[in-house]
């Protein structure tokens, strides 16, 4: 973890006392740089995703004269366009994160994302209003994210002592949720002011993120064994590790299928434009409400991290996520909808915290890049493929029917996983099974 610092002797000739271990991740300089990098990256990325979605839906309705149902289906295709590169590149990204300097991998990926933001800004300014243009940029943005996520996730355990990792995960979540709150809301207002402005701002934020991550100093060097190992063998080892960790496998797949079926994010442009009639500003507030609920829980968990009965708490949180999604789908009041979205974010944050703690505490450092990539693939599958599923369901059931169906399905999935993965119900702590045995 942290290098041992040799303190010089004082004037009397005696060696100075070593500095006490940090009591908080925020007392570690490298962690503060990491936190800022994560915040700026999430702020830019989530803001861009919201604007791309709204812009695509608006173009489909205005320029292509599509019906609400047809335009909703285009949102589903947008989710698939972002997921496909993630699906194809995830095994590679995990190996790269374990074989090379994780700071440089994340920094290079964000440099490419800067090009994406600038390209979207130019296309918007020149009014190249085209669905294919938006799909291509969304796909490249998805490809970039698949390299940023595992590299950054694997950095934190290298700069924070193991006993502070649960608190660090709470602070990481605050950075993520703060970016998710501010990004969509701010970018929605920026888009209403000038359509290209959000993309220019996103490019600046990503440059700040890359600068912060590259400024981290105290990372251990990549082991020679990791560089010598065959990449295909490393990919297989990562999947085998998750398969053996039944609790970890159950948590990842539970989140995957529950959010895949129960996510309402993709259809928010439909609710904002044609159901609640609140426009892009309202869409930003809707996305921010989900993040606000998650941020409140993340702040609480950063000071009072979960430690007992983690399995049952995860099951309850996923079921609550489904129930609140049903409530959002049925609501026709903007304020009530914001309340349900905040509760959705709060419930989801508990699930995210448990899964992230498992990945960090139950995974050896030489596998963290690959395991983080696989976990990220599950998250992306649930989000991006969930958007496709929502678009298809909306085409068949309407936007309201699709959201209500998805929330109900998430509750059913939770019940099935509680039965099929008894390891989740029985889990009391995050400690690996070998620690219980010792």
DSSP string, 229-295: S-HHHHHHHHHHHHHH-HHHHHHHHHHHHHHHHH--GGGHHHIIIIIS--HHHHHHHHHHHHHHHHH
pTM beyond 0.85: the answer is no
For range 142-156, the mean pLDDT: 84
φ, ψ of residue 9 to 5 degrees: the values are -70, 150
Backbone angles phi, psi at 10, to 5 degrees: -80, -175
Residues shown for the chain: 438
- pLDDT surpassing 90 at residue 324: yes
Q: Quick one: pLDDT at residue 225?
A: 56
Q: Find the range with the poorest average confidence among 29-33, 261-265, 275-279.
A: 261-265
Q: Which of 24-28, 119-123, 406-410 shows the highest mean pLDDT?
A: 119-123
Cα–Cα dist 391/385, whole Å: 10
Whether residue 276 contacts residue 334, with contact meaning beta carbons closer than 8 Å, is answered with: yes
Backbone dihedral region of 398: left (phi > 0), alpha (psi from -120 to 50 degrees) or beta? left
Residue 15, strand partner residues = 9
Structure confidence by residue, pLDDT tens digits, 42-96: 999 989 988 998 899 888 988 887 888 888 788 878 878 887 887 788 778 878 8
**What number is the average pLDDT over the span 280-287?**
81
Displacement of CA 321 from its chain's centroid (Å):
16
For residues 417 and 250, the answer to whether their CB atoms sit within 8 Å is yes
Q: Are 272 and 282 contacting, i.e. CB atoms less than 8 angstroms apart?
A: yes
* Res 210 pLDDT > 90: yes
Q: How many CB atoms lie within 10 A of CB 313?
A: 16
- The tokens describing 135, both together, are 């799909």
Instruction: Provide the pLDDT for residue 224.
Output: 56
In terms of pLDDT, which residue wins out, 387 or 312? 312
3-state SS string for 400-435 = HHHHHHHHHHHHHHHHHHHHHCHHHHHCCCCCCHHH
Q: Which DSSP state fits 310?
A: H
pLDDT reported for residue 35: 94
Residue 8 has pLDDT above 80, yes or no: no
The answer to whether the beta carbons of residues 74 and 56 sit under 8 Å apart is: yes
- Residue range 147-165: average pLDDT? 82
Once rounded to an integer, what is the mean pLDDT over residues 1-21? 51
Tell which residue, 271, 212, 232, has the closest CA to residue 31.
212
Output 226 or 307, whichever has higher pLDDT.
307
**How many CA atoms lie within 13 Å of 45's alpha carbon, on the beta-carbon side?**
26
Confidence band of 308 (pLDDT split at 50, 70, 90) = confident
In the numeric block, which tokens belong to residue 137? 């940029």
DSSP 306: -
Q: What is the pLDDT of residue 4?
A: 39
Q: Does pLDDT of 223 surpass 70? A: no
């Amino acid at each position: 973890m942290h290098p041992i610092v040799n303190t010089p002797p004082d004037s009397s000739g005696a060696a100075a006392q070593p500095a006490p271990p940090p009591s908080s991740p925020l007392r570690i300089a490298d962690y503060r740089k990491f936190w800022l990098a994560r915040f700026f990256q999430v702020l830019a990325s989530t803001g861009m995703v919201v604007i791309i979605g709204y812009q695509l839906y608006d173009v489909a309705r205005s320029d292509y004269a599509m019906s609400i149902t047809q335009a909703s289906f285009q949102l589903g295709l947008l989710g698939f366009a972002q997921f496909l590169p993630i699906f194809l590149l995830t095994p590679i990204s995990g190996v790269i994160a374990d074989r090379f300097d994780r700071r440089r991998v994340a920094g290079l990926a964000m440099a490419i994302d800067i090009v994406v933001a600038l390209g979207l800004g130019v296309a918007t300014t020149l009014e190249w209003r085209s669905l294919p243009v938006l799909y291509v940029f969304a796909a490249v943005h998805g490809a970039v994210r698949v390299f940023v996520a595992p590299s950054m996730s694997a950095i934190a355990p290298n700069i924070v002592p193991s006993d502070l990792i649960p608190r660090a995960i709470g602070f990481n979540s605050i950075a993520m949720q703060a970016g998710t709150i501010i990004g969509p809301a701010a970018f929605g207002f920026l888009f209403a002011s000038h359509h290209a402005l959000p993309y220019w701002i996103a490019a600046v934020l990503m440059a700040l993120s890359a600068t912060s991550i590259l400024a981290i100093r105290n990372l251990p060097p990549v082991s020679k064994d990791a560089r010598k190992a065959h990449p295909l063998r490393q990919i297989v080892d990562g999947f085998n590790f998750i398969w053996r960790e039944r609790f970890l496998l159950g948590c990842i797949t539970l989140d995957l299928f529950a959010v895949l079926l129960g996510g309402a994010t993709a259809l928010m442009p439909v609710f904002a434009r044609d159901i609640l009639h609140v426009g892009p500003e309202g869409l930003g507030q809707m996305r921010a409400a989900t993040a606000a609920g998650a941020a409140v829980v993340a702040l609480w968990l950063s000071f009072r991290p979960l430690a007992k009965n983690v399995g049952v708490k995860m099951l309850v949180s996923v079921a609550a996520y489904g129930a609140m999604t049903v409530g959002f789908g049925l609501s026709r009041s903007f304020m009530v909808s914001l309340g349900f979205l905040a509760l959705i974010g709060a419930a989801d944050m508990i699930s995210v915290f448990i899964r992230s703690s498992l990945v960090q505490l139950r995974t050896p450092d030489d596998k963290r890049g690959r395991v983080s990539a696989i976990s990220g693939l599950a998250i992306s599958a649930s989000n991006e493929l969930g958007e496709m599923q929502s678009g298809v369901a909306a085409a068949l059931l309407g936007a309201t029917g699709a959201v209500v169906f998805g929330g109900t399905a998430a509750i059913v999935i939770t019940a099935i996983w509680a039965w099929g993965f008894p390891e989740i119900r029985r889990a009391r702590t995050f400690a690996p099974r070998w620690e219980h045995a010792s």
